[in-house]
Homo-oligomer: A and B are copies of this chain.
Amino acid sequence: MHLILGGARSGKSRFAEDRINHAGGGTYIATGRAWDTEMANRIELHKSTRGKIWQTIEEPLDLCAALSSCNNRDGAKPIMVDCLTLWLTNLMLEDRDIDAEFGRLCDFLPALDVPVLLVSNEVGFGIVPENAMARVFRDHAGRLHQRIAALADQVTLVVAGIPMSVK
């Protein structure tokens, strides 16, 4: 399990994609929802840059089900989840129990028998946001990253497209 953190436009998804391309392809679990044109364009751009050696699953909420559907299949092709922060956004918009969802994911991940690369935005290095929802979001994101990082074999921080090894 590999947690890949990075800022906006840091090349974190590209880094994960490159690793899976070198492994001959895999499964891309897209958590993003096209709730506006800006986002729709980003999703399309991401799709168009991936090749046919990828299978894509779109799953905004039930990440464990999406991961589970990849288990014991396809000769252990690696999975890329892009990204945890969009998944968190969706959970919050649906008013889910965030800690319960995090617990479910963290209980499930060690049982996966294929390599998984989890991509997420590091969002905690700015000024405290004035927006209360944004404060809650970055607190959740920080806690999730800590939990996943504790379980992960590798943690990478991508800066300007270049990986820095964290763990």
| Chain B residue at minimum C-beta to C-beta distance from A85 | B128
Is B142 a contact of A7 with CB atoms below 8 Å?
yes
Q: In this assembly, does A167 line the interface, its C-beta being within 8 Å of a C-beta of chain B?
A: yes
Stretch at the interface among A24-32, A90-98, A154-162: A154-162
Q: In this assembly, does A164 line the interface, its C-beta being within 8 Å of a C-beta of chain B?
A: yes
Q: Tell me the smallest distance from the CB of A1 to a CB of chain B, in Å.
A: 13
Q: Tell me the smallest distance from the CB of A32 to a CB of chain B, in Å.
A: 13
CA distance A36 to B162 in the complex (A): 35
Is A127 a contact of B123 with CB atoms below 8 Å?
yes
Task: Indicate which residue in B9, B122, B129 contacts A143 across the interface (CB closer than 8 Å).
Answer: B9
Task: Indicate which residue in B9, B38, B143 contacts A141 across the interface (CB closer than 8 Å).
Answer: B9
Interface string of A136-150 (1 = CB under 8 A from B): 011111110110111
CA distance A122 to B124 in the complex (A): 8
Q: In this assembly, does A130 line the interface, its C-beta being within 8 Å of a C-beta of chain B?
A: yes
Q: Tell me the smallest distance from the CB of A93 to a CB of chain B, in Å.
A: 14
Given contacts A9-B124, A127-B131, A149-B162, 6 further A-B contacts (CB under 8 A): A8-B139, A8-B142, A9-B143, A126-B127, A127-B129, A149-B159
- Please, could you name 16 A-B residue pairs with CB atoms under 8 Å apart, sorted by A? A5-B160, A7-B142, A9-B142, A9-B146, A10-B124, A123-B127, A127-B131, A127-B137, A127-B138, A145-B160, A146-B161, A149-B162, A150-B161, A155-B159, A155-B160, A159-B166
